Amino acid sequence: DIEIPESHPRYQSLLTRHRIEEGVEKGITSRQGLIAQGRGEAFDYLLGERTIPSADEAARAAAAHLLLADRPVISVNGNVAALCPGEIVDLAAAVDADIEVNLFNRTDERMRAIADHLRDHGADEVKGLTADGRIPGIDHERAKVDADGIGSADVVVVPLEDGDRAEALGAMDKVEIVVDLNPMSRSARVATVPIVDNIMRAVPNIAAHARDLRDAGATREELEAIVAEFDAAEALEAAERAIRSGSDE
Ligand code: PTJ
């Protein structure tokens, strides 16, 4: 591991880059993942590398959806696995969700490397390798999912998803929670709950909200009210305003 002093003004950003680089070296992250990370970083810089209030509200709405779900699944790709594997395992435990590896550039090798990496970080079951289900409307390789995972999920968390697949998943009538730093991306626009935040902040934040709601004894009705009050279009507008003005929207 490289040593980055925590006092460095770009500490988080350097740590993130290092994790992605390591992910590529370990065969977890695709080379395209490096480009995706660069794109995300630019938006994070414009947002002030912080969780804006509307993203925090979105994370709370996401937590409520996950607690209400019958079959919640968290989808993991090569970037997510490299950046926050432990946090994904913790979120899955907090809301009793399954974890499924789901890749845009799918190879068996990378599927296995990511599943092993998640198990090293405490996951017991990792779905995605069976691939006996399909997302209708997208080409074969990219459509593969587990029938008893994303295939039959009612709520899916898809961090950093490609626009086509986000659209196709939305068309399957699932509640789709997208984490994407670009509020203008197609994925963010088709999401039931778009969280415009870095996955390294958003994933632990959803878990913290889920635990707070559970500890406060939130009822089904209260969770449903949180879900109903959330306005996706308004959250995206707030994120754009924050980017343009450099302040709190
Ligand atoms: O591992 P694979 O094969 O499934 O491939 C994963 C990538 C991410 C390479 C693939 O899905 C892809 O090409 O995605 P895109 O179309 O580049 O979209 C990535 C989106 O995620 C962009 O809108 C970025 O702004 C955003 N993004 C990148 N890094 C982060 C992020 N959002 C939140 N947190 C990040 N750390």
Whether 126 is covered by a domain: the verdict is yes
Q: What is the pTM of this model?
A: 0.95
Whether 118 is covered by a domain: the verdict is yes
Q: What is the pLDDT of residues 47-90, one digit of tens each?
A: 999 999 999 999 999 999 999 999 999 999 999 999 999 999 99
Mean pLDDT to the nearest integer, 17-21:
94
Is any ligand 1 atom within 6 A of the Cβ of residue 43? yes
Q: Give the per-residue SS3 of 23-74.
A: HHHCCCCCHHHHHHHHHHHHHHHHHCCCCCHHHHHHHHHHHHHHHHCCCEEE
Is any ligand 1 atom within 6 A of the Cβ of residue 179? yes
- Checking if the pLDDT of 32 tops 60, the result is yes
What percent of the chain lies above the pLDDT cut of 90? 86
d(CA 33, ligand 1 centre) in Å: 6
pLDDT confidence bin for 11, thresholds 50/70/90: confident
The tokens for 154 are 């009612």
d(CA 174, ligand 1 centre) in Å: 21
From residue 221, alpha-carbon distances to 59, 151, 224 in Å are 18, 27, 5
d(CA 236, ligand 1 centre) in Å: 18
Whether 134 is covered by a domain: the verdict is yes
Is any ligand 1 atom within 6 A of the Cβ of residue 40? yes
Whether 61 is covered by a domain: the verdict is yes
Whether 100 is covered by a domain: the verdict is yes
Is any ligand 1 atom within 6 A of the Cβ of residue 75? no
The answer on whether 28 is annotated among ligand-binding residues is no
Q: What is the CATH number of the domain that holds 81?
A: 3.40.50.12640
Q: What is the pLDDT of residues 140-174, one digit of tens each?
A: 888 999 999 999 999 999 999 889 999 999 899 99
Whether 17 is covered by a domain: the verdict is no
- Give the total number of structural domains in the chain: 1
Whether 23 is covered by a domain: the verdict is no
pLDDT at 110: 97
Q: What is the pLDDT of residues 191-230, one digit of tens each?
A: 999 999 999 999 999 999 999 999 999 999 999 999 999 9
Specify the residue with its C-alpha closest to ligand 1, atom 25.
40
pLDDT at 249: 54
From residue 48, alpha-carbon distances to 132, 185, 188, 246, 249 in Å are 42, 19, 19, 7, 12
d(CA 218, ligand 1 centre) in Å: 33
- Checking if the pLDDT of 248 tops 70, the result is no
Pocket test for ligand 1, best of 160, 189, 200 (most atoms within 8 A of CB): 160
Structural domain containing residue 158: 53-242
Q: Which atom of ligand 1 is nearest to the CA of 197?
A: 33
**How much is the ipTM here?**
0.98
The answer on whether 187 is annotated among ligand-binding residues is yes
Whether 10 is covered by a domain: the verdict is no
The tokens for 141 are 């390789």
The answer on whether 186 is annotated among ligand-binding residues is yes
Is any ligand 1 atom within 6 A of the Cβ of residue 51? no
